Amino acid sequence: MIEKTKTPTSYMKVTITKSEQEFDITAAWRIIAQMLEKRTSVIGLSTGQTTIGMHRIVSEIYAQYPFDVSNITLFNVDELTNLEREYAGSCYTMILNQIAGPLGIPEENFIMPPTLSDDFVAESILFEKRLAERGGADLQMLGIGSNGHIGINQPGTPFESETWVSPMDPDFEARVRRETQVPPETELGGLTRGVKNIMHTRKLILIAKGSHKAEIIKQAILGPVTTDIPASVVQLHPNCEILLDADAGALIADYAKERGYNW
């Protein structure tokens, strides 16, 4: 594992693990550490291939060494809209099956917006209100899309955006429609915490693994802060870690090596 507390662009901590397995273990312990450090933690999660392994390890460690999670609050940074919540690809279902259920998180402490509503503006406000009532988010495990999106905030989303319903990435939307047979006239999207809301989290951990994420990680971490790459805004966060496996971190590791940085 390679760590550095200062990057060329900010004071972010960069952690590049040697393997995917080490990445999953490291990420899992970041979540567990937050739970143990603050027994009333409000923790934001992300779904997708990057997070399945870390969620599994958290659940396995909890099963072997149970600890008090009765006052832990979990939520996901986003949720799909205009789909049944029971859809296997809904964020609610994935988080419930992967981590909230195995840890026995009480239902009232699993905060998620609905997937179906007549008023998603009101649901966005209510989602943020429920988080605020618990003191706001302590930790956000934040995935990054191949186009640099965070949550479902696509390129071009203003940094001052607050929780809203964003369009899906076209490729992802096409896949969801194939899996659900949702008719073309049904508008799909994602209720997502806005960039501003995400940045108000006390601690961010931007996570990525796989060689397909290497280029966007380089642009987000070493390039300019720009709405063209929403993830680049984390360079401005005062308490942010970049956690990568060796493949996702390959290009920034090469950059560091060329300049003599020890990370």
**In this prediction, what percent of the chain has a pLDDT beyond 70?**
94
Cα separation, 151 vs 168, in Å, equals: 10
- Answer whether 0.75 is exceeded by the pTM: yes
**pLDDT tens for residues 57-75?**
999 999 999 999 999 999 9
Q: How confident is the model at residue 258 (pLDDT cuts 50, 70, 90)?
A: confident
Over residues 109-114, the mean pLDDT reads: 98
pLDDT of residue 7: 47
pLDDT of residue 68: 98
Q: How confident is the model at residue 105 (pLDDT cuts 50, 70, 90)?
A: very high
pLDDT of residue 262: 60
Q: How confident is the model at residue 169 (pLDDT cuts 50, 70, 90)?
A: confident
Closest by Cα among 221, 33, 12, 239 to 4: 12
User: Are the beta carbons of 90 and 79 closer than 8 angstroms?
Assistant: yes
pLDDT of residue 2: 43
Over residues 80-86, the mean pLDDT reads: 96
Cα separation, 51 vs 45, in Å, equals: 8
Provide φ and ψ at 207, rounded to 5°.
-120, 140
**Average pLDDT over the chain, rounded to an integer:** 94
Q: How confident is the model at residue 21 (pLDDT cuts 50, 70, 90)?
A: very high
Q: How confident is the model at residue 44 (pLDDT cuts 50, 70, 90)?
A: very high
pLDDT of residue 259: 75
pLDDT of residue 254: 78
Residues in the chain: 263
**Is the pLDDT at 8 greater than 60, yes or no?**
no
Cα separation, 139 vs 36, in Å, equals: 13
Cα separation, 81 vs 115, in Å, equals: 5
**Is the pLDDT at 219 greater than 80, yes or no?**
yes
pLDDT of residue 5: 40
